[in-house]
């Protein structure tokens, strides 16, 4: 992003523990938002960070996003080794996964090391650093992967994102399990589907209706699940009860 022949800077927004940069990727002529994250250790501060990131993404009209850096959180128990997973780690995993799902982010496949952070003696290790992108980012760079580099003098491993351009056809239609638990969800989808005024052969109709449904579901998901304040309050109450 520092090379003017590769990226044209437009604007940026700085918050507590993140920098969001908006600009144009020169080769693809694609406008995107790249957010560099450096999360805190305390869960309360992590929840605040994820809420702020959700608010920024929800208020933006830009569809192509990349969140990368040290999230200081794991998504599942297998991402931490050499140290026990306590109750607050369980809350952390739930809150972090909720942030990812509510913003419809996708983690790029990882190549190389399984863990990205190591203690000084090498006995404890965790997957704290990662790259999360929007589906629109994957549509632009469908073969993107995150390559974990060798650890040198720092506790963290650097991550390099690369994409090999290959056309494997349309991306799969993605859903979130929580959608189907919402009362009236399937009826709403059926009503939307029948309301789309698309004409043509069966393949064209199906393809265009799926595109319309995808758009409406993204808006509905943001309106229904995008506000993390209630989740934040609930988790903080659980933490206080655990005396964390």
> Each residue of 156-191: pLDDT tens digit?
999 999 887 555 556 667 778 788 888 899 999 999
Residues with Cβ < 8 Å from 32, sequence gap 6 or more?
A: 22, 23, 24, 25, 62, 64, 65, 66, 137, 140
- Residues in the chain, how many? 244
Mean pLDDT: which of 22-26, 78-82, 87-91, 172-176 is highest? Answer: 22-26
Short-list 190, 183, 187, 194, CA closest to 224: 183
CA angle 180, 92, 177 (to 5 degrees): 10
Q: Which domains does the chain have, with CATH numbers?
A: 7-168 (3.60.10.10)
Quote the pLDDT of residue 235.
59
Quote the pLDDT of residue 222.
81
> Each residue of 203-221: pLDDT tens digit?
778 888 888 998 899 888 8
Residue that wins the pLDDT comparison between 80 and 19: 19
- The whole model's pTM is what? 0.67
Quote the pLDDT of residue 152.
76
> Each residue of 34-86: pLDDT tens digit?
999 999 999 999 999 999 999 999 999 999 999 999 999 999 988 988 876 66
Q: And the tokens for 88?
A: 């607050």
Q: Residue 241 burial by CB count (10 A; 0-12/13-18/19+): exposed, middle or buried?
A: exposed
Residue that wins the pLDDT comparison between 241 and 231: 241
- Locus of tokens 């859903």: 175
Quote the pLDDT of residue 200.
80
For the chain, the average pLDDT equals 85
Quote the pLDDT of residue 236.
62
Share of the chain above pLDDT 90, in %: 50
Within 37-111, residue ranges assigned H as helices are 43-59, 87-102
Q: How far apart are CA 84 and CA 37, in angstroms?
A: 25
Mean pLDDT: which of 121-130, 147-156, 230-239 is highest? Answer: 121-130
């Amino acid at each position: 992003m520092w090379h003017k022949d590769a990226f044209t800077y437009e604007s940026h927004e700085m918050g507590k523990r993140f920098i969001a940069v908006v600009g144009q990727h020169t080769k693809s002529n694609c406008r995107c938002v790249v957010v560099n994250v450096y999360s805190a250790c305390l869960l309360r501060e992590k929840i605040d960070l994820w809420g702020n990131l959700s608010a920024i993404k929800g208020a933006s009209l830009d569809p192509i996003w990349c969140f990368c850096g040290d999230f200081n959180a794991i998504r599942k128990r297998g991402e931490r080794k050499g140290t026990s997973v306590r109750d607050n780690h369980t809350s952390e995993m739930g809150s972090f996964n909720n942030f990812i799902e509510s913003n419809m982010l996708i983690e790029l496949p990882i190549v190389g090391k399984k863990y990205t952070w190591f203690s000084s003696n090498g006995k404890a290790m965790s997957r704290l650093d990662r790259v999360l992108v929007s589906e629109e980012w994957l549509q632009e760079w469908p073969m993107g992967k995150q390559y974990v580099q060798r650890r040198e003098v720092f506790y963290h491993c650097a991550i390099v994102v690369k994409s090999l351009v290959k056309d494997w056809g349309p991306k799969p239609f993605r859903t979130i399990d929580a959608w189907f638990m919402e009362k009236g969800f399937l009826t709403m989808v059926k009503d939307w589907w029948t309301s789309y005024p698309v004409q043509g052969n069966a393949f064209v109709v199906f393809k265009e209706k799926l595109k319309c449904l995808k758009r409406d579901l993204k808006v509905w998901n943001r309106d229904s699940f995008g506000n993390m304040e209630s989740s934040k309050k609930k988790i903080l109450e659980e933490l206080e009860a655990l005396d964390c």
